[in-house]
Structure 1
Amino acid sequence: MNIKKFLSIKIHKSMIQAGIPSKYNVILRSCKKKIFGNYQINGIISAAIHLKINPNNLAKKVVKNIKLNNILTNITVSPTGYINFFLKKEWLSNQINLLIISKKLGLTKNIISKNIVIDYSSPNIAKEMHVGHLRSTIIGDSMVRILSFVGHNVIKSNHIGDWGTQFGILIAFLKKKKKKINFLLSDIEKLYKQAQKKYITDINFTKLAKYYVVKLQQKDSSCLRIWEKIVNITMNYNYQLYKKLNIKLNHHDTMGESKYHDMIPNIIKDLKKKKIAVNNNGTLMIPIKGVQNKKGKLMAVIIQKKDGAYLYATIDIACIKYRYDFFKADRIIYYVDSRQSQYLNQIFQIVRNAKYVPNNLQLEHHMFGMILNKNNKPFKTREGTNIKLNHLIDESIIRSKNIILEKNPLIKKKLLEDLSKKIGIGAIKYADLSKNRIHNYIFNWQKILSLNGNTSLYIQYAYVRTISLLKKANINLNNFLNLEINFISQYEFDLAVSFLDFEEIIFKIVEKGTPHLLCNWLYKITVLFSSFYENCNILNIKDTKLKISRLKIVLLTSLFLKQGLYLLGIDIIEKI
């Protein structure tokens, strides 16, 4: 359940009964100082000023109308009009028991399932994925998991650029050199760099490359054979990388620009007919109302060059139309970096003006910042080149292995390999996901692989502790699901209260695409669990009911940590 929403609805009725206009909402927050209560009601003061009433007196009127005696206790009013209260231990005990047996850890909100397309990862063809692809890939993957978890039908879309100028460059270069394509992706990338250099410096080669772009778009059989080989080599490499990263993307989710190619002639014809696209000296473009370039002239999006070649914008317009027509999308989310913000907004404007999508279709750009080094510069190699994503993963695994060996030099090799992968990959993913996506962040090896602080390893280690306690206890807790939880200490009570925030956190993420909120919550319950673990006797206790009570809290902690890490795409570990 969403405890804050549940209480806010009840308390809002009490505010209205106290004479407060309905426009004043309940502002319910967790108390910073636990001695005052679990929650605090704000918002009374502004209403009191409007009604010209003393805030303390108005708050007392509200309290008299609160009929939640079975849930709340110790309701107090501060001199300034804040209302503080505690949750009743008996009620909280019942909620904990319900959480343990619930299918989705207390998610009770009934949603209308939507078809949601998530556009993420989008690696470059003929190049290895680099660190710049990390954020889109792992944030998108986490959102796929979270949206699916709450009940939406999620369509994963790995939109790859397999139909543009780079293919004209590569095809021209390979044909000119008469090279056969029987090599690795790294070899193709080297060839592409050579070809690109020639494209910039050799006018004749530039013309030849543009010629082959058009030939490819006209589906020339020779060009198609080369194109298909390059795409397959690239994506087979990427699928292995996705598997390594525990990313839910495979060949079924790959939707290249070529998929929409046959739609484009009709779209161009339609845009011209609707007078949305205009001809400017042989170039077809769409003026964007209200947007000017640096020279103060109206900006325009080009959709077809003089030579007949299509551009990215043409493909993206067709792509959105396809996603609505074929997938019946209710919501389309793009996980693309912030530099594409203006461009995507222009594409969204075009498809709406053309009536390719209805007004109620949500088109969202969930932008993200950059990964930086300690000097606040883009995170690159010493030579200034992009860090290969595979190299970054391998380095994290090696560093994790060294940390494990320091703690346990006699660990078995198979376990060492398994743990180092789970810890190393989890560390990279969590370091990114725990940051608000709209901000840049500094990549720091020492911080991301620390056993302390807001890291995946800290949370994974807490999970190990929960599993260890449950195994040592060797008690079937299913036989005690109705047994009341005894809250003897503040540590176990605070931990139990924090469980009630799960639904609120999840649905905030569903709305905003901000998985860092889940990371913050997991870190919070891990800190609270650590305090509970260190200050409360769990196993060596004579009172059997109290022992089972505390083990049930341990069990629920383990369930939340496991589910939370899964939603982030991070593996649990059961021993270290």
Structure 2
Amino acid sequence: MTPSDGAHLAAAAHRVPSVRADLAATFRTALNSAFPNVPMEPQVAATNNPRFGDYQCNNAMQLFGRMKGKEGAPKKPTDVANAIVDALPASDMIAERPTLAGPGFINVKLNHGWIAERIHSMLVQGIGVWAPPLPYNRAIVDFSSPNVAKEMHVGHLRSTIIGDTIARSLEFCGVDTLRINHVGDWGTQFGMLIEHISDTRNGLTGTTTEEVSDLQKLYKESKARFDADDDFKARARAAVTRLQSGEQEYLETWKRICEASRDEFYAIYERLDVRLLWRGESYYNPQLRPLVEELHERGIAEESEGALVIHMPKEKQPLMIRKSDGGFGYGTTDMATLKQRIHEEKAEWIIYVTDEGQSGHFKLVFGSGKKAGIIPEENPPRIDHVGFGLVLNKDGKRIRTRDMGEATKLVELLDEAKNLCKVEIKERRGEETDEKLKALNLDAEQIEERRKKRGEPFTEEELEEAAAIMGYGAVKYADLKNNRKTDYKFNLEDMVALNGNTAVYMLYAHARIASIVRKVGKDVNEVAKTAQITLEHPAEIALGLQIVQFTETLEDMFVDLAPNRITEYVYELANLFSTFYTECKVSGSEQEDSRLLLCEATAIVMRQCLTLLGIKPLYRI
């Protein structure tokens, strides 16, 4: 059985609005009918407490306030709410007349048959019809962005993982998304490295990529010399100038350094299943001088103590675009990058994923971009800086990006996560070894039955693959479940825990559903052609409602670009399924086909959530 749970762009024309959007459209009609002279957008949200209903419309009090004191105005907010309810058009979506709570909150219960039909339609058409439509055709997500010659470690995780989830979500919604790795591959550190390589290799001629492959060691040695030796520091700075001037030996050595770093980075990206286009700072180097000259000539950039800067109103610090020594810095590169992305790449949405500490810098860059006309006044692209907090160690201390000796290497971390999960899988699958079964004094038939329940043993290859998926997924999920703006403690043991809001729990939950579907022994796609879903038991109803709220979860994620919206949703989905399966028999019940379809719908939505989080689902553990 192959589930139809991919994001099909062909289904984009048939996309289904979120439940919240459908309800908002219904209430918009009522508002326009009841109060045509007081235009207002409907305020519809899911309720926090199911005893008040499934959704709530909260316009009455605001409308009452706007009309208060005018001739013929309603006397109290509940009068406004009743007028809105009276004006609601007939709808299969709403189960009964909405009720009022407090000073005018309108509580709505959804028709269970309508929820069931919505789920059934998704099973037939694919989860792609639930992808929220976005008003953008092309987006750029700038994320990860490590520095050449420095190893990736846990401090680089947040940008890579958050950026990948945002990019995956945009792609799921049909947006052409360019994933940019804005690598730090230009600057003073290359003068240090090149001079150190020249000194230790008796010149640059004939230097091979292999000789610069241990970049971590070379960087630490060159940095120590740069800090302690003024003569070496002067030569390193001169080497930067020679590199930027295009001297062949310097360029060739720089290329080898970048190539060695690229190989290391992309081996990690492959393990994390992250796709990125390498586009380092050097890519924009030819554009810097012309841009600075243009901004100076137009009066956008002004001289200040020998440097060129762009002053912004209400900002204490200007954006420096040329240093007093004539060099260029991050501000220059980021202005050129912004111009290229808007005017050449034609991006309609640009997203920068960096630590929260850079928010002030990007505020200056975006403000300067508007002042210079790089960001157009008419139809400007949406531009977001997605900031995130620090990664802390178990003691609550910062894991510093540049403290080479202190930070945990990402490769080592991934290996450890995988090994921990490998042990966990082996222990769980070996809970009933043949020796233990014999010790239970079971007869041969009982032993065989227990073995069947345990499933076919994993091959070593299958075990390695499952452990990698689970281990890498655990690291990703533990990061993404946090509010991105807050700091979080990096604790590998907590990340791979079987219970609680972890990837391991989610993967076992999905594998459990897949096992239930397999054991029923029916082709779910064929069942969906003839059977319908019925939601009668409270656990069925709660699960069905959670399933159909998938679309608005993504809508909310796109508002504030917070991946934890997805993790919170899918964790609640898994918990509700667990309650459903405990209270509602599937195989052999009178409602077998209906509940089988509900199982499959849960699995499809769960798989899509895991995929958006960059985690491969497991069908058997």
Output the TM-score relative to the length of structure 1. Answer: 0.92
Match of 2:307 among 277, 283, 288: 283
Find the counterpart in structure 2 of residue 173 from structure 1. Answer: 196
Find the counterpart in structure 2 of residue 120 from structure 1. Answer: 143
Find the counterpart in structure 2 of residue 447 from structure 1. Answer: 494
- Structure 1 residue 68 and structure 2 residue 90: aligned? yes
1:169-568 aligned within 5 A: 169-178=192-201, 180-183=207-210, 187-249=214-276, 253-280=277-304, 282-292=306-316, 299-359=317-377, 360-379=380-399, 385-409=406-430, 412=458, 413-479=460-526, 480-481=528-529, 483-541=531-589, 543=590, 546-568=591-613
Q: Deviations over 1:146-188 (max 9, x none)?
A: 1111111111110111111110111111122335455477722
The answer on whether the counterparts of 2:212 and 2:256 sit within 8 Å (CA) in structure 1 is no
Task: Tell me the distance in 1 between the aligned counterparts of 2:382 and 2:334.
Answer: 16
**Paired residue secondary structure (1:243):** helix
**Paired residue secondary structure (2:279):** strand
Task: Tell me the distance in 2 between the aligned counterparts of 1:184 and 1:400.
Answer: 36
- Structure 1 residue 83 and structure 2 residue 106: aligned? yes
- Kindly state the Cα deviation for residue 61 of structure 1 after the two structures are TM-superposed: 3.2
Task: Tell me the distance in 1 between the aligned counterparts of 2:150 and 2:212.
Answer: 7
Report the AA paired with residue 501 of structure 2.
Answer: N
**Paired residue secondary structure (2:575):** helix
The answer on whether the counterparts of 1:75 and 1:83 sit within 8 Å (CA) in structure 2 is no
Q: Deviations over 1:238-291 (max 9, x none)?
A: 111000111122xxx100111111112211221221122334454333344432
Report the AA paired with residue 596 of structure 2.
Answer: L
Report the AA paired with residue 140 of structure 2.
Answer: V
**Paired residue secondary structure (2:566):** helix
Task: Tell me the distance in 1 between the aligned counterparts of 2:485 and 2:405.
Answer: 24
Report the AA paired with residue 93 of structure 2.
Answer: I
Report the AA paired with residue 418 of structure 2.
Answer: I
**Paired residue secondary structure (2:388):** coil
- Kindly state the Cα deviation for residue 455 of structure 1 after the two structures are TM-superposed: 1.3
| Range moving further from structure 2, 362-371 or 317-326 | 317-326
**Paired residue secondary structure (1:230):** helix
The answer on whether the counterparts of 1:331 and 1:362 sit within 8 Å (CA) in structure 2 is yes
Task: Tell me the distance in 2 between the aligned counterparts of 1:383 and 1:203.
Answer: 23
- Structure 1 residue 8 and structure 2 residue 24: aligned? yes
**Paired residue secondary structure (2:140):** strand
Find the counterpart in structure 2 of residue 295 from structure 1. Answer: none
The answer on whether the counterparts of 1:485 and 1:550 sit within 8 Å (CA) in structure 2 is yes
Q: Deviations over 1:399-447 (max 9, x none)?
A: 2122223212365432321221111100110011111111111223343
Find the counterpart in structure 1 of residue 449 from structure 2. Answer: none
| Range moving further from structure 2, 270-279 or 328-337 | 270-279
**Paired residue secondary structure (2:96):** strand
- Structure 1 residue 144 and structure 2 residue 167: aligned? yes
Task: Tell me the distance in 1 between the aligned counterparts of 2:288 and 2:58.
Answer: 55
| Range moving further from structure 2, 322-331 or 69-78 | 69-78
User: Quick one: structure 1 residues 235 and 533, their matched pair in 2 at CA, closer, same or farther if it must change by over 3 Å?
Assistant: same
Report the AA paired with residue 176 of structure 1.
Answer: D
Q: Deviations over 1:174-203 (max 9, x none)?
A: 122335455477722112112112112222
| Range moving further from structure 2, 153-162 or 469-478 | 469-478
Find the counterpart in structure 2 of residue 296 from structure 1. Answer: none
* Alignment RMSD (CA, Å): 2.4
Report the AA paired with residue 580 of structure 2.
Answer: F
1:21-60 aligned within 5 A: 22-48=38-64, 50=68, 51=73, 53-60=75-82
Report the AA paired with residue 41 of structure 1.
Answer: C
Task: Tell me the distance in 1 between the aligned counterparts of 2:211 and 2:517.
Answer: 48
| Range moving further from structure 2, 304-313 or 470-479 | 304-313
| Structure 1 unpaired stretches of 5+ | 293-298
| Range moving further from structure 2, 393-402 or 28-37 | 28-37
The answer on whether the counterparts of 1:433 and 1:515 sit within 8 Å (CA) in structure 2 is yes
Runs of 4 or more off by more than 6 Å in structure 1? Answer: 380-384
Report the AA paired with residue 551 of structure 1.
Answer: L
Task: Tell me the distance in 2 between the aligned counterparts of 1:191 and 1:213.
Answer: 17
Task: Tell me the distance in 1 between the aligned counterparts of 2:295 and 2:48.
Answer: 57
- Kindly state the Cα deviation for residue 52 of structure 1 after the two structures are TM-superposed: 5.1
Output the TM-score relative to the length of structure 2. Answer: 0.85
Task: Tell me the distance in 2 between the aligned counterparts of 1:367 and 1:244.
Answer: 25
Task: Tell me the distance in 2 between the aligned counterparts of 1:320 and 1:557.
Answer: 41
Identity across matched positions, percent: 30
User: Quick one: structure 1 residues 65 and 386, their matched pair in 2 at CA, closer, same or farther if it must change by over 3 Å?
Assistant: same
Report the AA paired with residue 552 of structure 1.
Answer: L
Report the AA paired with residue 137 of structure 2.
Answer: K
Report the AA paired with residue 194 of structure 2.
Answer: I
Q: Deviations over 1:280-315 (max 9, x none)?
A: 4543333444322xxxxxx33333345443222222
The answer on whether the counterparts of 1:128 and 1:185 sit within 8 Å (CA) in structure 2 is no
Report the AA paired with residue 180 of structure 2.
Answer: S
User: Quick one: structure 1 residues 184 and 366, their matched pair in 2 at CA, closer, same or farther if it must change by over 3 Å?
Assistant: farther
| Structure 2 unpaired stretches of 5+ | 1-16, 434-456
Report the AA paired with residue 607 of structure 2.
Answer: K
The answer on whether the counterparts of 1:372 and 1:440 sit within 8 Å (CA) in structure 2 is yes
User: Quick one: structure 1 residues 61 and 344, their matched pair in 2 at CA, closer, same or farther if it must change by over 3 Å?
Assistant: closer
Report the AA paired with residue 517 of structure 2.
Answer: L
User: Quick one: structure 1 residues 86 and 79, their matched pair in 2 at CA, closer, same or farther if it must change by over 3 Å?
Assistant: closer
The answer on whether the counterparts of 1:116 and 1:154 sit within 8 Å (CA) in structure 2 is yes
Report the AA paired with residue 392 of structure 1.
Answer: L
| Range moving further from structure 2, 210-219 or 447-456 | 447-456
- Kindly state the Cα deviation for residue 467 of structure 1 after the two structures are TM-superposed: 1.0
Report the AA paired with residue 230 of structure 1.
Answer: I
| Range moving further from structure 2, 322-331 or 23-32 | 23-32
**Paired residue secondary structure (1:367):** strand
